[in-house]
Structure 1
Amino acid sequence: MTDQNAPAPRLGRWYFGGVASAGAACCTHPLDLIKVNLQTQQGKLSVVPLTAKIIRDQGITALYSGLSASILRQLTYSMTRFGIYEVGKQNIETNTLMGKIFLASMSGAIGGLVGTPADMVNVRMQNDVKLPAESRRNYKNAFDGLIRVYKTEGFKQLFSGATTAVSRGVLMTVGQIAFYDQIKSLLLDSKFFKDDLRTHFLASLGAGAIATTLTQPLDVLKTRTMNAKPGEFAGLWDIVKFTARLGPMGFFKGYIPAFVRLGPHTIITFVFLEQLRLNFGSIPEPKKIA
């Protein structure tokens, strides 16, 4: 039975998702960097040897290469998709899973497009650590990377990989946000869970696993597209064929570090997000009785 005297749950503000995602990115960036390097190499180095090689050659700070671009990506890509979803959820009835998936798909598509430039610079800055010194792009920070790409490669190159970024954004937002929302609702409806840290943890863990499985093939293609030099590939299909040479599992390169990164990233994001909502969220206006 619902407590009629209980205060109405606070609502999230549109920008909470971007702030929470940026905070999570600061914690999980080294794992993201390892994932990108695994996806762009054609060799056989696994997670531990690759990590050891980066630290041995360039020091432990190399694991944070591209952090500024990673934060900028979250403040564009994630803030857009979380913001649209949150505003949409508060104004549109999304009680069914299909309703949540539809809203998440729209949010993810727009977020993927908006975040493509920062995402592309992020991939390049992270990939620099495994390149010889003479081949590195050596962007000073995310904004330096955006300006240099625009000046030397043109505006169009800023949206290199936009097709796969948008597609991945749709799948990621469905897996993360829609399924988090659904799993959390199911847990709360069971009456065994409350709107607390345990529920947020379990719901985000499940959402992270679903999101990783849905997005990994597109993530590999997106990473290769954004890291490619102008003219290296004829198009997306050329990259698909190039990746397919490694066999079916080539599309899941970096799956373990992707899950190891995305799982904690999803958990930290939603824990931060829920704490922001519970402590700083807006109080809904009482419904008027006709």
Structure 2
Amino acid sequence: MSTTTVQSVSVAAPVSTPKPAVKKQPYPFWLGGVAATIAASITHPLDLTKVRMQATGDKGMIQSLKKTVRTAGYRGLFDGISGTWMRQMSYSLCRFWAYDESKKLLGANSQSPAWKLALAGSMAGGIAGLVGNPGEIMMVRLQGDFAKPPEKRLNYKNCIDGLFRMVREEGASSLARGVGPNVFRAILMNASQLASYDFFKAELLKTSYFQDNIYCHFTASFAAGTVATTVCSPADVIKSRIMSASGNEAKSTMQVLKNSFKNEGAMFMFKGWVPAWSRLQPTTILIFLTLEQLRNLVDYTRELRAAH
């Protein structure tokens, strides 16, 4: 019996050694900027409405949309679209890249604690807020221009024309106008939007109800959009009011805060929350759904190249 046992063991199939895990290549740094540009182009009319409500005092999202169509036609809903593209391909491209790099620096990943993801998002927001400030100004000015009386309009042809005219007429220092609240807002946005998306996605995948697919991405981005809108609203309102001012109208951050508190009370910081949520929510969903699909496309093309 013992001999039979030894023989059976000796002829057993050898245990195959597992193949070493292949380290996944990083995705192209520009994917986030492309995804954000696509999303912002689709939701531009809502962003336009939000900025005009915050900067010019338009009341009611529907009324503001009707006013835009009445005064500039349906094409008016896409006023300032070049400023939006400029902003996304500077600010958004930078923030997604910097978020990934910050996570590497902190040794964080999607499974990390929320505070570590938020710290990575804050670091990314600070960098992107500085880099994207000129694009932010152009976006706000181009979107808000037609809501002003004709004699006060800047009449920029596009974002490039606006950038050159701004430097020529107001000096190079004007490119930094509102940089303080913009950086602060960018820190809040990335700490709340990017970090909370990673957090919610990781938490959903821990349940038995979700897999890493479009349903999970949609749910996580919906939650992230609501969090980001609420956290960013105060800085967003202040930023829009400062950046929309030009020349002698320009005021310091403290002056804007003082006058707004005096005239409207503390709730002015959440003025335009509904259009902001209506704009940021679909934008957030579109950004992350598009980004995930772009990543899938990159993975697919890499698999094709490896197969050949």
User: TM above 0.5, one fold?
Assistant: yes
Structure 1 position 92, deviation (Å): 4.4
Residue 164 (structure 2) aligns with: 147
Contact 1:9 1:283 in 2 (8 A): no
SS in 1 for 2:28: coil
SS in 1 for 2:208: coil
Structure 1 position 129, deviation (Å): 1.6
Contact 1:13 1:86 in 2 (8 A): no
Shifted more, 189-198 versus 274-283: the winner is 274-283
Q: Partners of 2:27 and 2:222 in 1: how far apart?
A: 20
Structure 1 position 225, deviation (Å): 0.6
Q: Kindly indicate whether structure 1 or structure 2 has the higher relative contact order, using CA contacts under 8 Å at least 6 residues apart.
A: 1
Q: Partners of 2:104 and 2:290 in 1: how far apart?
A: 20
Question: How many residue pairs were aligned?
Answer: 280
Q: Partners of 2:160 and 2:250 in 1: how far apart?
A: 26
Shifted more, 92-101 versus 212-221: the winner is 92-101
Cα distance 1:99–1:247, how it changes in 2: closer, same or farther (>3 A)? same
1:175 and 2:192 equivalent?
yes
Q: Partners of 1:189 and 1:90 in 2: how far apart?
A: 23
Q: Partners of 1:128 and 1:145 in 2: how far apart?
A: 11
Q: Partners of 1:194 and 1:9 in 2: how far apart?
A: 20
User: Which residues of 2 match residues 23-172 of structure 1 at below 5 A?
Assistant: 23-42=38-57, 45-90=59-104, 92-94=106-108, 95-172=112-189
Write the deviation string for residues 161-180 of structure 1: whole angstroms up to 9, x where unpaired. 00001000000001110000
Aligned-pair identity (%): 38
Contact 1:22 1:74 in 2 (8 A): yes
Contact 1:11 1:283 in 2 (8 A): no
Structure 1 position 151, deviation (Å): 0.6
1:219 and 2:221 equivalent?
no
Residue 288 (structure 1) aligns with: none
Contact 2:106 2:116 in 1 (8 A): no
Residue 30 (structure 2) aligns with: 15
Q: Partners of 2:289 and 2:87 in 1: how far apart?
A: 20
Quote the RMSD (CA, aligned, Å).
2.1
Name the aligned partner's letter for residue 225 of structure 1. I
Q: Partners of 1:32 and 1:12 in 2: how far apart?
A: 29
Write the deviation string for residues 237-279 of structure 1: whole angstroms up to 9, x where unpaired. 1000122111222111111000000000000000000011122
Structure 1 position 185, deviation (Å): 0.6
Larger Rg: 2
1:252 and 2:270 equivalent?
yes
Q: Partners of 1:263 and 1:13 in 2: how far apart?
A: 25
Residue 212 (structure 2) aligns with: 195
Give the alignment partner of residue 265 of structure 1, picking from 276, 283, 289: 283
Cα distance 1:276–1:73, how it changes in 2: closer, same or farther (>3 A)? same
Q: Partners of 1:92 and 1:235 in 2: how far apart?
A: 35
Shifted more, 127-136 versus 265-274: the winner is 127-136
Give the alignment partner of residue 276 of structure 1, picking from 279, 287, 294: 294
Cα distance 1:234–1:26, how it changes in 2: closer, same or farther (>3 A)? closer
Stretches of structure 2 lacking an aligned partner (at least 5 in a row) = 1-17, 304-308
Contact 1:177 1:207 in 2 (8 A): yes
Residue 287 (structure 1) aligns with: none
Stretches of structure 1 lacking an aligned partner (at least 5 in a row) = 285-290
